[in-house]
Amino acid sequence: MRDSRRLRIKTLFFALIAVCTNVFGNYFLSLGVREPHSSYLDVFSSPWMFAGILLLAIWLVSQLSLLSWADLSYVLPVTASSYVLTALVGALLCNEYVSTVHWVGIVLIFTGVIVVGQTSPQTVPVHSEADE
Amino acid sequence: MKWLLVLVIATGNTLGDVLNSKGMKRHGEVTEFGPKGIRRLLAKLARNGYVLGGIAAMAVSFFALLMLLSIAPLSFAIPATAAGYLLETALAKFILREHVGWRRWAGASLVAFGVSLLAFH
C-alpha cells in the first residue's frame, strides 16, 4: 500500500515538473522569437531563447522519466493540465482576455485531469533500471 | 496544404508518444536523477531505437506546427490535437496493453472536449 502511495506522489511530482517546464519553456521561446532580431542566428543569442530551450530540455527528460514507469493513458490526460496553467498565466500574469467558452474548456480539462488522477498511474508491470 | 500539415502534426505526436512510452517501458523505471544518473540515462537512450524514433516523430510534428502557424491560426490545429487524446488512449490500450478503465476514458473524453472548446473564439 505504501508503494502505491509513493508511486502516486512521485508521478504527480514529475507531472508537475513536466507541466511547468513545458508551459514556461514555450512562453520564454515565444518571448525570444518576438524580440527584434537582425538575422535568424541572432535569435539564439537571446536569453529568453536560452531559458526556453533549457526548460524544454528539462521537460523532455521529465516526460520520458514519467513514461518509464507510468501509463501513457495516465500521463497524457494528467499533463493536459498545461492548458489550465497556460490560461492562468495568460490571464493573471499577462492580462490576456480569456473568453467564457475557453474558461468552460479549461474547467472540463481540469475535471478530466482530476478524474484520471484518481486511477493508479501504473497498470502494467515495469522493471527498474537498477535491476539490470 | 493546411490539412496535410494537421495530419502530419497529429500523426507525429501520436507516434512520438506511443514510441517513447514503449521505449521507456523497455528501458525500465528511471530511479536516479543526479547529474551522473541523467548522463547515464541520456547515453542509454541514444541507443534506444524506440525513443530515438519517438523524438524524431515529435520533431517532425513540431516543425509541421511551425509551418502551419505561418499559414493558419493556432486554433486550426486544435480539433486534431483534441482527437489525439482519445486516439492515444485507444492505442495505449491496444498496443501498449494498458488497463484503461472507465475513469481513464471519462477523463480523456473530458480533456478532449475541453481542448476542442479552445478552438472557439
A9 inside domain: yes
pLDDT score at A58: 95
Domain count along chain A: 1
Phi, psi of A128 (to 5 degrees): -95, 145
- Contact list in A for residue B103 (CB cut-off 8 A) is 115-116, 118-119
Structural domain including A20 reads: 2-124
Residue corresponding to grid cell 467564457:
A100
A132 inside domain: no
B65-78 burial, b at 16+ Cβ within 10 Å, e below that, comes to: bebbeeeeeeebbb
A23 inside domain: yes
A129 inside domain: no
Cα angle: A75, vertex A76, A81; to 5 degrees: 95
> Does the pLDDT of residue B30 top 90, yes or no?
yes
* Contact pairs from chain A to chain B, CB under 8 Å: 149
- Tell me if B17 and A129 make a contact (CB, 8 A cut-off): no
Helix (H, G, I), strand (E, B) or coil at B96: coil
> Does the pLDDT of residue A34 top 90, yes or no?
no
Instruction: Give the model's confidence band at B52: pLDDT under 50 very low, under 70 low, under 90 confident, else very high.
Output: very high
A21 inside domain: yes
pLDDT, one tens digit per residue, over A47-104 is 888 899 999 999 999 999 999 999 999 999 999 999 999 888 888 877 888 899 999 9
A72 inside domain: yes
pLDDT score at A21: 96
Rounded-to-integer distance, Cα B57 and Cα B12, Å: 5
Closest-CA residue of chain A to B90: A73
pTM of the model: 0.90
A51 inside domain: yes
- Tell me if A102 and B92 make a contact (CB, 8 A cut-off): no
CA dihedral A12, A15, A19, A25 (to 10 degrees): 130
